[in-house]
Amino acid sequence: MNIINLAHGAYLMMGAYLSYVLFTSLHVDPFLSVPIAFAVMFGFGFLVQKYVINFVVRAPMLTTFLLTFGLSLLLVNIALVIFHGDSKAVAPAYTGSHFDLGPVTIGWTKFWTLLVALAVTGVVQLWLSRSRTGRAIRATALDIGAAQLSGVRVANIYAIVYGLGAGLAGAAGVLVGLNQGLNPSMGDPYIIDAFVVCVLGGLGSVQGALVGGLVFGIVEALGSQFIGSGLQDAVALGVFLIVLIVRPTGIMGRALV
Amino acid sequence: MKAARAGGITGSPRAALAIAALLVVALGVPLLHNGYYENLVRGILMFSAMSLGWNLLGGYAGYVSFGNVVYFGIGAYVSAYLANHGWANVWVDVPAGMIVAALFAILLGLPILRLEGHYFGIATLGIALAVQELIANTDALGNGSGLTVTQAAWFSQYYYAMWAVCAYAFGLTWLVATSKFGYALVAIRENEDAAAVLGIDVTRAKIAAWALCATMAAGAGGVFAFSNGFIDPPTAFGLEDNVFPIVMALLGGVGTVAGPVVGALILTAINETLWSHFPQIHTLFFGVVIVLVVLFLPRGLLFLAGVKGGWRGFVRGLSAYRV
Amino acid sequence: MSAKYLSVDNVSMRFGGLLALDGVSFEIERGSIVGLIGPNGSGKTTMMNVVSGVYKPSGGSVTFEGTRIGRVATHDVCKLGIARTFQVVKPFVNLTVRENVAVGAMYGRYGAKRRGSAAFARADELLEFVGLARVAGRPASELTIPDRKRLEVAKALALDPEVLLLDEVMAGLNHSEVDEALELVRALKARGLTIVIVEHLMKAIMSVSTTVIVLAEGKKIAEGPPLEVTQSPQVIEAYLGSRFAIRHAAERARSALRQAQDDISK
């Protein structure tokens, strides 16, 4: 929707900490926290968009960028105050267990993480393409004026989409926290990566995001193998630039309006 | 050049003159022999230079860069590297850093400045992160542990060096804003297609603006390496150094000559107050400040003075961007 | 044969699967006013974009006084002496009207030799000419539609062109405003400019053009003096459909027959 959201990492972090709190105090399995985190973060994102970001939605991009940056600072620092800066972990009983698939050993946690990620993506894609709201969203993305004339409550659509993004980030955060531990700045690397993946796959295409994520993951893995693992960001940028210059619409996307 | 209306594209010649006067006064700070004030004002000068740099490309040409800190870092590392290899002279190292940064900008500008607004912004951010990572993996530049810089006996020379960089940035911005080149940049910002049809070589103009902007940030970084005595990747490419100059320009007035400096003054004042009273959560308050500035001063203080209709006009202006 | 001034040679323009222009050729003589008309989607604006160098043609070429336009960078086209207005006007909204025009004077054909103050003086001259002197100090965002169109023309004139391409300048104007616009066009011709006008308004084109070229579906279907072109059956068919064309032809045949019968009976 043409909003660059720098608070994305913060939402991821919030989702992760939510699952942490649920796990340590109520012993809720982290995989069950995924839909909970999604719902909570959706609500949060919806409110943030409707009552804060909505004020500057049509301003130049710089404004939304700085606004979401400020929000991110706020949220990360609140987390810092509440949870302190040290790393935490969410470690249910089955952590570390694995199964063998031929010559390859696969951790159960990672396996389920993959399935859940795929499931979530699939549900979102279905909802976006089939539901009435989904159609409204795509209409608004193409032409705000026309959508408004057709009766779409654009302010709400923006809020829903933003909430969706936040919810997904929160859900992802649970998975990341489960696999890699938590700390208040855990979301930082994902902001850029998320954008790169989207561009790679094609802005506006959900399958594209999936394909983009896959391709990106592979490129990163290969990159760290051959060039050295410290250079992940450089690799990310290199890929991003090449895609932008060679094929701005991404692997599967239509051009950004 | 006599501009069409009061200020032309300088924003407010009166404010610019006031800032120039302040700059002259600032020359006297080291004579107070007060370390705290010297550091404080040197910081203001540093951020002013960086903000003025960002403002040239972002405010005047409309190409919002979120990775200008990369030039700050380049300037810092050039200084540190030269200092550790027998050239520990701030007056030589800083210009060297500025030249390197300008070359970097020109090289990078050719592909990157072709990108549309959103993409350009993210690409610049990515570049900053990538360069930071590259340096962190380079032995000759100290890897992740950084480089130390031996400081000369006469410490105040670094204040004067930073002053020189800031004066350079300010003077250059003023020159651009009162020349044909300034109008070329503004034309690009307003409507790039129309600008090209009117005969402006937009690619050359954008690259020139970015190169100049790079020299300003690199100058600041180059002096910083000396005044700080030490740099490492997080210090040289810190996110704060990246974002604060932008917020300062926004606060003071984007696309004006005096705006960035005004913003730097105010924001530093706020920062110092917060730091001394709420050390724990001062970054948190900064987040609040940024949010408030963005919501209520979308075009900066210098434009506030020109808003018609008093309070109601102000509030109406705020809702202009709503959906 | 005299040297060609501005010639369009077999120009084709393809956008992906769409052939917007298909082998169009015509000559423009110095000092003439050429009207370019055609139904919606016929390729008029595409043609303008090709002639002004905004698009490079997929086939064929446009040559102005010996220089191939397609080979020249967008910002160098005005240095050759060709200027254009845009159908969707592109003012610099945050600059004043005077500044808008001054930018053109700074960077146009003679811009390099002009200092800033000379550019502003030239801008004032041009604003006087198009009738915008009264709003010279206002920001461009405050202008009415007809004034915005005037501003577009003034900006183009600031480039000191020999050839001026006007793309649907009269769209959205009322009767009296159209008349004023036509006066302006005639005044420009008197100054020695060669003008190409793309318009929907038939009356406007007919009253002011020396030659009219008609495009339909990317092809040139007629070229000639205004009156001749409007009588051409292909043109009528293109604009009004084949049923009307047939009816029209039938009408003409009937009246020709009546005329013949009258002649015989005399």
Q: Which of B9, B179, B191 is opposite residue C90, by nearest beta carbon?
A: B191
Q: What pLDDT shows up at residue A184?
A: 81
State yes or no: pLDDT of C265 exceeds 50: yes
Q: What pLDDT shows up at residue B2?
A: 37
State yes or no: pLDDT of C105 exceeds 50: yes
Closest among B157, B221, B162 to B23, alpha carbons compared:
B162
Taking the alpha carbons of A135, A138, A143, A148 in that order, is the dihedral positive or negative?
positive
Closest among B162, B157, B145 to B75, alpha carbons compared:
B162
Task: Tell me if C92 and B1 make a contact (CB, 8 A cut-off).
Answer: no
Cα separation, C49 vs C56, in Å, equals 8
Q: Which amino acid is at A69?
A: F
Sole residue written with tokens 């000369």: B152
pLDDT in tens, B142-183: 877 888 888 888 888 899 999 999 999 999 999 999 889 999
Q: What pLDDT shows up at residue A204?
A: 53
Contacts of B2 in chain C (CB under 8 A): 116-117, 120
Task: Tell me if B280 and A248 make a contact (CB, 8 A cut-off).
Answer: no
Interface confidence, given as ipTM, is 0.80
- DSSP tag of C4: P
Contacts of B121 in chain A (CB under 8 A): 4, 61-62, 65
State yes or no: pLDDT of A254 exceeds 50: no
Q: What pTM does this model have?
A: 0.81
pLDDT in tens, B17-29: 889 999 999 888 8
Q: What is the DSSP string of A123-150?
A: HHHHHHHHSHHHHHHHHHHH-HHHHHHT
Q: What pLDDT shows up at residue C245?
A: 63
Cα separation, A22 vs A14, in Å, equals 12
> Mean of the pLDDT values across residues C195-215?
86
Can you read off the two tokens belonging to residue B61? 């040409």
Whether CATH 1.10.1740 fits B13-321: no
Find which of B143, B191, B241, B294 to mutate to test the A interface (most A CBs within 10 Å of its CB). B294
- Report the percent of chain A where pLDDT is more than 70: 63
Q: What is the DSSP string of B110-156?
A: HHHTTS-HHHHHHHHHHHHHHHHHHHHT-GGGTGGG-EE-PPPS-TH
pLDDT in tens, B235-252: 888 877 888 898 898 888
pLDDT in tens, A193-248: 666 666 665 555 555 565 566 666 666 666 555 555 556 666 666 766 676 666 65
Are residues A60 and B249 in contact, defined by beta-carbon separation less than 8 angstroms?
A: no
Cα separation, B142 vs B158, in Å, equals 23
Are residues C7 and C30 in contact, defined by beta-carbon separation less than 8 angstroms?
A: no
Cα separation, A217 vs A196, in Å, equals 11
SS3 C8: strand
Closest approach of chain A CAs to the CA of B189, in angstroms?
Answer: 12
Q: What pLDDT shows up at residue B6?
A: 41
Higher pLDDT, A150 or A257: A150
CB atoms within 10 A of CB C263: 8
Are residues B122 and B66 in contact, defined by beta-carbon separation less than 8 angstroms?
A: yes
The CA distances from residue C45 to C11, C36, C39, C41, C250, in Å, are: 14, 9, 11, 9, 34
**Strand arrangement of the beta sheet that strand C67-68 belongs to:** C18-28, C6-15, C59-64, C67-68
Are residues B241 and B69 in contact, defined by beta-carbon separation less than 8 angstroms?
A: yes
pLDDT in tens, C172-182: 788 888 888 88
Q: Which of B123, B293, B322 is opposite residue A57, by nearest beta carbon?
A: B322
Cα separation, C153 vs B4, in Å, equals 20
Number of A–B residue contacts, CB under 8 Å: 134
Residue B101's pLDDT band, with cuts at 50, 70 and 90, is very high
Higher pLDDT, C205 or C167: C167
- DSSP tag of B258: S
Instruction: Map out the domains of chain B as residue ranges.
Output: 13-321
State yes or no: pLDDT of B299 exceeds 50: yes
Q: Which of A61, A199, A230 is opposite residue B64, by nearest beta carbon?
A: A61
C35 strand-pairing partners: C197, C212
Residue C1's pLDDT band, with cuts at 50, 70 and 90, is very low
Can you say how many angstroms the Cα of residue B271 is from the centroid of all Cα atoms in its chain? 17
> Mean of the pLDDT values across residues B124-138?
83
Can you say how many angstroms the Cα of residue A159 is from the centroid of all Cα atoms in its chain? 16
CB atoms within 10 A of CB C228: 13
Show which of residues 141-180 on chain B sit within 8 Å of chain C, judged by CB atoms: 179-180
pLDDT in tens, A34-62: 888 888 888 888 888 888 877 777 666 67
> Mean of the pLDDT values across residues A150-158?
75
Closest among A174, A172, A171 to A19, alpha carbons compared:
A174
Q: What pLDDT shows up at residue B139?
A: 80
- Residue B259: enclosing H or E segment and its boundaries? helix B259-277
Mean pLDDT for chain A overall: 73
Contacts of A55 in chain B (CB under 8 A): 295, 318-319, 321-322
C163 strand-pairing partners: C82, C194
CATH code for the domain defined by C1-81+163-177+188-225: 3.40.50.300
Sole residue written with tokens 């030249």: B99
Show which of residues 73-132 on chain A sit within 8 Å of chain B, judged by CB atoms: 73-75, 77-78, 81
Contacts of B286 in chain A (CB under 8 A): 73
Q: What is the DSSP string of chain C?
A: -PPPSEEEEEEEEEETTEEEEEEEEEEE-TT-EEEEE-STTSSHHHHHHHHTTSS--SEEEEEETTEEGGGS-HHHHHHHTEEE--SS----TTSBHHHHHHHHHHHSTTGGG--HHHHHHHHHHHHHHHT-GGGTTSBGGG--HHHHHHHHHHHHHTT--SEEEEESTTTT--HHHHHHHHHHHHHHHHTT-EEEEE-S-HHHHHHH-SEEEEEETTEEEEEE-HHHHHH-HHHHHHHH-HHHHHHHHHHHHHHHHHHHHHHHH-
Helix, strand, coil percentages for chain B (3-state, nearest 5): 75, 0, 25
Does residue C9 come out as left (phi exceeding 0), alpha (psi in the -120 to 50 range) or beta?
A: beta
Q: What pLDDT shows up at residue C3?
A: 61
Show which of residues 49-78 on chain A sit within 8 Å of chain B, judged by CB atoms: 52, 54-63, 65-67, 69-75, 77-78
Return the beta strands (E) in C141-243 as ranges.
163-167, 194-198, 211-216, 219-224
Task: Tell me if C137 and B4 make a contact (CB, 8 A cut-off).
Answer: yes
Q: What pLDDT shows up at residue B166?
A: 95
Higher pLDDT, B15 or A220: B15
Q: What pLDDT shows up at residue B47?
A: 94
CB atoms within 10 A of CB C257: 10
Q: Which of A40-49, A161-170, B209-218, C213-222 has the lowest mean pLDDT?
A: A161-170
